[in-house]
């Protein structure tokens, strides 16, 4: 009897937690899309709540402010990307190459394709209206790019290094933010598994080309 009673008491807690997580995820998904479409400043919490089919006061049960919601949108999508690069840096020089990361990074970005537009918006924001949250992530990812190059023991000229990092950044993130254009021009879904595999191959080949052009360190 005790175990049955305990089970009956604990079961609703599990259900509430599960439902709460689903609601939080729905809010994050909705916010990710609206922030990408309209920008941070132009997106109101009431718009996110309405699109997620929740009353605005209920939104505050999950996120205390728009700022907190925006931070979590970026954190959810980009922390796995940072984790992959951190793990690569910790391994051998051969494993630290961008070439070994290409497929995993593209797969991570494909899970949240709208976040690429958020980062592009951050980069293009005016100095007077700088997106500090988004730019912090941009700067963090660029720093990872520099650290991966160092860990791989490849030492291009400083000018070439920044060009390589910018080019790789554009090829990885640009593919996703430009996907609506590609869909409209060719009538092909750029987020389909087949097209994602083509993007991986293209990016991997590009990275192999620029890395092969650089002499490895003798150290």
Q: What is the CATH number of domain 74-219?
A: 1.10.357
* CA 102/CA 155 separation, integer angstroms: 20
Query: How many Cβ atoms sit within 10 Å of the Cβ of residue 129?
Result: 9
Q: Where are the beta strands (DSSP E) in the chain?
A: none
Please tell me the predicted confidence (pLDDT) of residue 127. Answer: 83
- What predicted TM-score, i.e. pTM, was given to this entire model? 0.81
Enumerate the domain spans of the chain.
Answer: 1-64, 74-219
Per-residue pLDDT of the chain (219 residues; tens, 9 = 90+): 444 444 434 444 444 457 888 899 999 999 999 999 998 989 999 999 999 999 999 999 999 999 999 999 999 999 999 999 898 888 877 667 777 788 899 999 999 999 999 999 888 888 888 899 999 999 999 898 888 888 777 777 878 888 888 888 888 899 998 888 878 887 889 999 999 999 999 998 888 887 776 554 444
**Tokens standing for 18?**
């599960």
How is domain 1-64 classified at the CATH fold level?
Answer: Arc Repressor Mutant, subunit A (1.10.10)
Specify the 3-state DSSP secondary structure of 62. coil
* Helix residue ranges, H only, 39-100: 45-51, 56-59, 66-90, 93-96
**Tokens standing for 98?**
């961008």
Contact between residue 31 and residue 59 where contact means Cβ atoms under 8 Å apart? no
Please tell me the predicted confidence (pLDDT) of residue 115. Answer: 93
36: nearest Cα among 129, 108, 159, 131: 131
């Amino acid at each position: 009897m005790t175990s049955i009673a305990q089970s009956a008491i604990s079961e609703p807690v599990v259900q509430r937690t599960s439902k709460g997580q689903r609601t939080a995820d729905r809010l994050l998904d909705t916010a990710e899309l609206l922030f990408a479409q309209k920008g941070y400043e132009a997106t109101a919490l009431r718009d996110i709540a309405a699109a997620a089919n929740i009353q605005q006061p209920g939104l505050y049960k999950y996120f205390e402010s728009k700022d907190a919601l925006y931070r979590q949108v970026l954190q959810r999508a980009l922390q796995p990307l940072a984790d992959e690069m951190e793990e690569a840096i910790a391994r051998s020089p051969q494993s630290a190459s961008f070439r070994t990361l290409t497929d995993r990074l593209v797969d991570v970005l494909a899970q949240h394709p709208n976040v690429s537009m958020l980062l592009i918006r951050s980069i293009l924001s005016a100095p007077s209206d700088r997106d500090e949250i988004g730019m912090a992530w941009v700067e963090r990812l660029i720093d990872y790019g520099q650290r991966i190059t160092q860990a791989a023991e490849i030492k291009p000229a400083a000018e070439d290094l920044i060009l390589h990092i910018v080019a790789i950044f554009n090829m990885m993130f640009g593919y996703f933010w430009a996907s609506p254009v590609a869909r409209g021009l060719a009538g092909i879904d750029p987020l389909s598994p087949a097209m994602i595999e083509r993007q991986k191959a293209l990016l991997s080949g590009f990275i192999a080309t620029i890395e092969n052009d650089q002499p490895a360190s003798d150290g």
